[in-house]
Amino acid sequence: MLVLAGDVGGTKTALALAQGGTIIERRVFPSAAYTSLEALVSEFLGQRGKEISRACFGIAGPVSEDSVRTTNLRWVVEARSLERTLRVPRVTLVNDFHALAIGITVLPASDLAVLNDSPSDPKGPWVLIGAGTGLGEAVVVHTGNGYEVIASEGGHTDFAPRNELEIDLLRFLLKRHERVSYERIICGRGLVALYEFMRGRSPEAESSAVREEIARSSGDAAPIISGHGLAGDDPLCTQVLSLFVSIYGAEAGNLALKVVARGGVFIAGGIAPKILPKLLDGTFRSSFVAKGRLSPLLEATPVKVVLNSDAGLLGAAALAARLAL
């Protein structure tokens, strides 16, 4: 049985053919280069649509009645339209973090990095949060038949500043946006916004070398900022990355509190593996556990980083395979 799996994001879309839970072919496409998901998948499949039994796509956006308007793309994706265009008997759409949650359940320990080493309650709910083009969140609860995934758009909740610096950050962002959510900060573009904010506070702190590097970056300054922040060779980038990770940890702690995530917290998305040394240096954990009277609860909550970039694809493939049973 051949199934088609997709992990559809605002920046890139990963597609895979899988058999028996194993990915046998995989390609990554720039999402914005295509007018629709149908066009992108058609290029990947060629003439192989009739060979595929089922398909499942994890898509960054809220799914309702087998349809989703993507959050960071101008796509409207409909399952029935995909079935007709691709000649696949059944297509299912789920939120990308729904697929990711299923994928996490099959990952080996070697695909996870530990940020907070505490015992996990095997019956407790667990959560995942991940920054990339946007900020995804989901909640997973145990049932008598396995797991129930509750997809969430929690990344779009209102940003809550914790100190004078973050209050100034909120004021800075309100000049650009009518409303400021966590996703405005904890994502690739958010990292750039933080750099611009911190540079505005101390213009003399920006090095000419980094400024010129950013000018040559074709509009994607986030890897430059994070790279220098990780290397510690530029004070401004180092401060920016620390602020980014601190706010990331605070929101992860907020999510854990909302469901008392005794089963653990998983940090996913494309950014986390790239900045893993910074996540491991204590900055993230310090903000994660700083919850006043509830700090002991967070200190006892396990936190792990998902290192496998194919976790969402694996989850989508598993869901597609279930549909064929």
> Any idea where the domains of the chain sit in the sequence?
2-101+310-323, 109-307
Residue type, 37: L
Query: C-alpha angle 114/240/170, rounded to 5°?
Result: 105
**Which class would CATH give 2-101+310-323?**
alpha beta
Report whether 9 belongs to an annotated binding site: yes
Residue 272 confidence (pLDDT):
97
Distance of CA 299 to the CA centre of its chain: 23
Position 262 confidence tier, pLDDT thresholds 50, 70, 90? very high
Residue 147 confidence (pLDDT):
84
- Find all residues with CB under 8 Å of 289, minimum gap 6, and list them: 116, 253, 295, 298, 299
Position 162 confidence tier, pLDDT thresholds 50, 70, 90? very high
Alpha carbon distance 54, 92 (integer Å): 8
Report whether 292 belongs to an annotated binding site: no
| Fold observed for domain 109-307 | Hexokinase; domain 1 (3.40.367)
Residue 325 confidence (pLDDT):
53
pLDDT at 49 over 60: no
Q: Do 54 and 321 meet the contact criterion of CB atoms below 8 Å apart?
A: yes
Query: C-alpha angle 133/308/182, rounded to 5°?
Result: 30
Alpha carbon distance 39, 74 (integer Å): 13
Residue 305 confidence (pLDDT):
98
Chain mean pLDDT for the chain: 93
Residue 22 confidence (pLDDT):
86
Mean pLDDT of 124-135: 95
Rounded to a whole number of angstroms, the CA Rg of the chain reads 20
The DSSP bridge partners found for residue 151 are 138
> In terms of DSSP bridges, do strands 2-8 and 12-19 run parallel, antiparallel, or are they unpaired?
antiparallel
Residue 151 confidence (pLDDT):
87
Alpha carbon distance 112, 104 (integer Å): 9
Position 176 confidence tier, pLDDT thresholds 50, 70, 90? very high
Q: Do 152 and 137 meet the contact criterion of CB atoms below 8 Å apart?
A: yes
Alpha carbon distance 84, 55 (integer Å): 12
Q: b/e map of 26-48 (b: 16 or more CB within 10 Å)?
A: eeebebeebebbbebbbebbeee
Q: Do 301 and 256 meet the contact criterion of CB atoms below 8 Å apart?
A: yes
Alpha carbon distance 86, 47 (integer Å): 9
Alpha carbon distance 271, 39 (integer Å): 27
| Number of other CB atoms surrounding residue 206 within 10 Å | 19
Q: Do 58 and 316 meet the contact criterion of CB atoms below 8 Å apart?
A: yes
Q: Which of 124, 161, 168 is nearest to 250 (CA)?
A: 161
Alpha carbon distance 78, 57 (integer Å): 11
